[in-house]
């Protein structure tokens, strides 16, 4: 997505030794910014890379006197935000938990495991009125995919040894891991290990700032067997490898920055800033609706309003090309949650329907983006339902009337239907019958999905044994 507007990008760069050289940026000058969370680690170095505005911050200060647990991560990120930065490109030294991730390689982070425990994890902790609300921030994807792809492309062009994906384990520090810990992190699926990614990546997400991180592999931590003790991680080996690799990182940053400036960031930034707010508001409405579930008029207004928010949000997300995998995921979670509340209220066995919905959702998520491939050899009813992305008579009956409409209509009937007579009685029952038919169709598909995936799981188990 190439930029076509006059949006001027300013990139925040967070790094360590080597990137804090005043000559790293053109036309550089220092500024001091204070924040409501205190002072950042150091002065901000403002300048340009290939005519792109950048602001550089040394994470541990220029003299490297601030340990990872004592870095004021909130002040650092808020200072960069106040300096006008919209996106964050960071570097971090890390150890390897995988034989293929060799010292000197670069790792483009795509996920993390947080093992820190002494750090302030959120701006929204209730300590400042500017961040007064509760914020349940989505962390998938944790790192911005547009930025990651640019870094990956440039690594390929420059023939740099790198890895397209890396799950970073962030430990508290300042000590390195024990051998048992290192092996445990391997079993958890970690590829690399450091002391600074968390909570930095989380705080960036809370500020709506797309964030990408380049991991500089400096050592093999201490998990390897049958090697000399000198090959395990220590400060000297880390600094030696980091110094030898630094020129690759600086050259990479010089190439990546102008590429990032070619992206149209405005819709991406809009999506980031709204990511929490829309779903947060829906969650609040669901909670309030539950509180007033014995007050039909209030409940129906709140419940139907949150459903309409979901519809309009999805519609405009598609129109504006602001669709995110997590956005779709959280929408389904909120839908299942709200329907589950209704089902339990309107029918003593309603929890069974809710369990089926959650199981079906769980199995589709297990297959990731390939979940629809499960339906290649599906029965006619299943294929027909999914035809044209549910936009067909069967799909509308099953999804709109059955899945979404039936619990709402049952609630309406229980509260208002008993007094209906004449034509209204038959109208209410006719709509109820239509919704029931839709739910039966939906139930057939859900059960097929569940049993089909159970069959796949059992087949995988038999092959593994």
Indicate whether 345 and 230 sit together in one domain: no
pLDDT given for residue 325 in this prediction: 46
In a domain, 302, yes or no: no
Indicate whether 254 and 119 sit together in one domain: yes
In a domain, 300, yes or no: no
Buried b (16+ CB within 10 A) or exposed e, 24-37: bbeeeeeeebebeb
* Strand 106-108 versus strand 162-163 pairing type: parallel
**DSSP code, position 398:** I
Indicate whether 361 and 247 sit together in one domain: no
In a domain, 128, yes or no: yes
Predicted TM-score (pTM) of the model is 0.61
Indicate whether 256 and 329 sit together in one domain: no
Whether residue 195 is annotated as binding a ligand: the answer is yes
Per-residue model confidence as pLDDT tens for the chain (465 residues): 444 445 689 999 998 655 666 578 999 999 999 999 999 999 999 999 999 999 999 998 888 789 999 999 999 999 999 999 999 999 999 999 999 999 999 999 999 999 999 999 999 887 776 776 667 788 889 999 999 999 999 999 999 999 999 999 999 999 999 999 999 999 999 999 999 999 999 999 999 899 999 999 999 999 988 777 666 777 777 778 888 888 899 999 999 999 999 998 888 887 666 554 555 677 788 888 889 999 999 999 988 888 777 665 554 444 433 444 455 566 778 888 889 989 999 999 999 999 999 988 887 766 544 444 555 567 888 878 777 657 788 988 998 899 989 999 999 999 987 777 788 888 999 999 999 999 999 999 899 888 888 887 787 767 666
**Boundaries of domain holding 140:** 10-260
Rounded (10°) angle between helices 423-464 and 350-366: 40
Whether residue 60 is annotated as binding a ligand: the answer is yes
In a domain, 130, yes or no: yes
pLDDT given for residue 241 in this prediction: 82
pLDDT given for residue 324 in this prediction: 47
Q: Which of 260, 276, 301 is the last residue of a domain?
A: 260
Whether residue 335 is annotated as binding a ligand: the answer is no
In a domain, 310, yes or no: no
Whether residue 220 is annotated as binding a ligand: the answer is yes
pLDDT given for residue 438 in this prediction: 94
Indicate whether 332 and 451 sit together in one domain: yes
CATH code, domain with 160: 3.40.50.1580
What is d(CA 148, CA 161) in angstroms, rounded to the nearest whole number?
A: 15
Indicate whether 241 and 342 sit together in one domain: no
Indicate whether 24 and 159 sit together in one domain: yes
Whether residue 139 is annotated as binding a ligand: the answer is no
Q: Which of 204, 237, 260 is the last residue of a domain?
A: 260
Indicate whether 120 and 224 sit together in one domain: yes
pLDDT given for residue 366 in this prediction: 62
Indicate whether 208 and 346 sit together in one domain: no
Q: What are phi and psi of 218, to 5 degrees?
A: -115, -15
Whether residue 79 is annotated as binding a ligand: the answer is no
Indicate whether 45 and 148 sit together in one domain: yes
If one counts the domains in the chain, the total is 2
Q: Which of 245, 260, 275 is the last residue of a domain?
A: 260
In a domain, 106, yes or no: yes
The catalytic site residues sit at 219, 221
Indicate whether 253 and 399 sit together in one domain: no
* Strand 52-58 versus strand 44-49 pairing type: antiparallel
Q: What are the helix (H) ranges across 53-128?
A: 73-82
In a domain, 3, yes or no: no
Indicate whether 89 and 237 sit together in one domain: yes
pLDDT given for residue 320 in this prediction: 39
In a domain, 173, yes or no: yes
């Amino acid at each position: 997505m190439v930029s076509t507007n006059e949006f001027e990008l300013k990139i925040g760069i967070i790094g360590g030794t080597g990137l804090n050289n005043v000559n790293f940026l053109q036309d550089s000058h220092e500024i001091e910014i204070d924040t409501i969370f205190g002072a950042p680690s150091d002065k901000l170095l403002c300048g340009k890379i290939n005519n792109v505005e950048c602001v550089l911050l040394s994470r541990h200060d220029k003299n490297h006197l601030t340990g990872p647990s004592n870095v004021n991560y909130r002040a650092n990120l808020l200072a960069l935000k106040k300096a006008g930065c919209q996106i964050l490109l960071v570097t971090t030294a890390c150890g390897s938990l995988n034989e293929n991730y060799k010292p000197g390689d670069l790792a483009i982070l795509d996920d993390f495991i947080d093992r820190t425990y002494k750090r302030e994890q959120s701006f929204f902790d209730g300590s400042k009125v500017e961040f007064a609300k509760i914020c349940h921030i989505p962390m998938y994807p944790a790192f911005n995919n547009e930025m990651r792809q640019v870094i990956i492309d440039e690594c390929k062009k420059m023939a740099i040894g790198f890895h397209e994906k890396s799950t970073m384990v962030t430990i508290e520090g300042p000590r390195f891991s024990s051998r048992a810990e290192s092996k445990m992190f391997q079993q958890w699926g970690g590829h690399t290990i450091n002391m600074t990614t968390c909570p930095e990546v989380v705080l960036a997400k809370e500020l709506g700032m797309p964030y990408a991180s380049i991991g500089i592999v400096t050592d093999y931590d201490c998990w390897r067997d049958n090697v000399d003790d000198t090959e395990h991680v220590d400060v000297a080996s880390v600094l030696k490898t980091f110094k030898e690799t630094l020129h690759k990182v600086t050259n990479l940053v010089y190439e990546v920055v102008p590429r990032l400036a070619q992206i149209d960031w405005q819709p991406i930034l809009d999506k980031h800033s709204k990511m929490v707010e829309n779903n947060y508001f829906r969650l609040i409405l669901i909670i309030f609706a539950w509180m007033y579930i014995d007050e039909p008029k209030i409940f129906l207004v709140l419940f139907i309003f949150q459903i309409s928010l979901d519809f309009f949000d999805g519609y405009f997300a598609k129109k504006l090309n602001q669709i995110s995998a997590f956005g779709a995921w959280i929408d389904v979670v909120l839908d299942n949650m709200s329907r589950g509340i209704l089902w339990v209220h309107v029918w003593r066995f309603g929890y069974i329907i809710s369990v089926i919905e959650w199981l079906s959702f769980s199995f589709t998520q297990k297959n990731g983006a390939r979940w629809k491939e499960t339906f290649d050899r599906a029965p006619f009813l299943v294929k027909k339902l999914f035809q044209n992305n549910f936009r067909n008579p069967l799909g509308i009956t099953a999804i709109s009337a059955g899945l979404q409409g039936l619990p709402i209509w049952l609630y309406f009937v229980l509260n208002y239907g008993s007094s209906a007579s004449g034509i209204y009685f038959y109208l209410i029952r006719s709509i109820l019958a239509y919704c029931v038919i839709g739910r039966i169709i939906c139930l057939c598909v859900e059960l097929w999905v569940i049993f089909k995936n159970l069959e796949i799981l059992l087949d995988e188990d038999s092959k593994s044994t």
